[in-house]
Amino acid sequence: MDIAESRRNFLKLAGLGGVVFASRLAGWADAADQVAHPGSAYDDFYFVQMSDVHWGFEGPPNPDAKGTLPKAVAAVNSLERQPDFIVFTGDLTHTTDDPRERRKRMAEFRDIVSELRVQSVHFMPGEHDASLDRGKAFQEFFGPTHYTFDHKGVHFIVLDNVSDPAALIGDAQLEWLAADLGQLPRDAKIVVLTHRPLFDLYPQWDWATRDGAKAVDLLLPHPNVTVFYGHIHQEHHHMTGRIAHHAAKSLMFPLPAPGSQPKRTPLAWDPAQPYRGLGFREVEAEVKSAEYALTEFPVKRG
């Protein structure tokens, strides 16, 4: 049994419903080195999820605020086999009350990620990008805030739960979602990409989408749905019925586990382990079985 096959079997053992995932919680610098070449034994595809870049943030939680994203871009570019595409699940920029500064941050972010070797990149907004102007600046730079695309048999749906500052998807978008789902066979392989959790993860910290349950209700009749999102700055896995929801790490600062402390303040930077808690994720799709193997990567390879 080669390394890749061994890894595949491990991932199946770690299965959660119809989805498998792996978690590299133990080390921040060694994950990439332990993983076989992505896709080397598979015919399927993989993509990379990057999230919560918060470009423009400054503060003690990340003394390398201007260097972290370029390091992450370099880390993705150094993957031996490049992903089919990359998704950014929101909060590309840190919020500002100044519309001109918002656009400046978006332009800088766009310039940095243009260095990615993979040029197929799908963006979506977070509340920091879009909630103060209902997505206007985001759309100027990155296009629509909700859309679909298809890749090798998987239907991807990007949902916008941030342009409404009240954390609503809204009736119009829900109707659009229902119409899109209505065109698909019931057993279609569906991946939803969004920023906020669609379920009530921890509403006390605004970790929810107020009408997210309506979207989940629309998705539930389909047996092969998986959701990838950001917002909470940490790896997290949850099931609503048979739908798996996977939250990604941030590329600026980690946040505490839900409800683990009184306030949702960033975790402190650890000089002994810089970039701890930050990273990006590889998602390996096995289309036939609608399974997704997740591997977490650090910002900086050791």
Partner 1 sequence: MNALVRQWKVAAAAALLAAGAAAAYVSAAPAVQVIRVVAKRFDYTPGEIRLKKGVPVVLEFTTQDVVMGFSAPDLDARSDILPGQVARVRLVPDKTGTFVFHCDIFCGSGHEDMSGTIVVSE
Q: Could you tell me the smallest distance in angstroms from the CB atom of residue 229 to partner 1?
A: 17
Q: Could you tell me the smallest distance in angstroms from the CB atom of residue 94 to partner 1?
A: 9
Q: Could you tell me the smallest distance in angstroms from the CB atom of residue 81 to partner 1?
A: 38
Can residue 133 be called a binding residue for partner 1 (CB under 8 A)?
no
Q: What is the DSSP string of 23-75?
A: ---S-SSSHHHHSPPTTTT-SSEEEEEE----BT--STT-TTHHHHHHHHHHH
How many residues lie near partner 1 (CB under 8 A)? 19
What are the Cα distances from residue 96, in Å, to 106, 226, 267? 11, 32, 21
Q: Determine which residue in the list 127, 211, 286, 296 makes contact with partner 1, applying CB under 8 A.
A: 127
Number of alpha carbons in the 13 Å side-chain half-sphere of residue 196: 33
Can residue 104 be called a binding residue for partner 1 (CB under 8 A)?
no
Of 30-38, 84-92, 198-206, 224-232: span binding partner 1 (CB under 8 A): 198-206
Site for partner 1 in 147-166 (CB under 8 A): 162, 165-166
Of 181-189, 229-237, 258-266, 283-291: span binding partner 1 (CB under 8 A): 258-266
Cα 254-106-263 angle, rounded to 5 deg? 25
Site for partner 1 in 222-251 (CB under 8 A): none
Q: Determine which residue in the list 49, 95, 161, 226 makes contact with partner 1, applying CB under 8 A.
A: 95
User: Are residues 251 and 280 in contact, defined by beta-carbon separation less than 8 angstroms?
Assistant: yes
Nearer to partner 1, 100 or 263 (CB): 263
Can residue 167 be called a binding residue for partner 1 (CB under 8 A)?
yes
* Residue 171: Cβ-neighbour burial (10 angstroms; 0-12, 13-18, 19+): exposed
Can residue 112 be called a binding residue for partner 1 (CB under 8 A)?
no
Nearer to partner 1, 76 or 201 (CB): 201
Nearer to partner 1, 77 or 261 (CB): 261
Structure tokens that stand for 202 in this block: 């921890």
Q: Determine which residue in the list 204, 220, 270, 273 makes contact with partner 1, applying CB under 8 A.
A: 204
Q: Determine which residue in the list 206, 218, 274, 287 makes contact with partner 1, applying CB under 8 A.
A: 206
Residue the block writes with tokens 């490049």:
82
Residues 6+ away with beta carbon under 8 Å from 86: 47, 48, 49, 50, 76, 116, 118, 120, 121, 122
Count Cβ atoms below 10 Å from residue 197 Cβ, excluding itself: 25
Can residue 93 be called a binding residue for partner 1 (CB under 8 A)?
no
Nearer to partner 1, 40 or 204 (CB): 204
- Residues lying near partner 1 in the complex (CB under 8 A) are found at 95-97, 127, 131-132, 162, 165-167, 200, 203-206, 210, 262-264
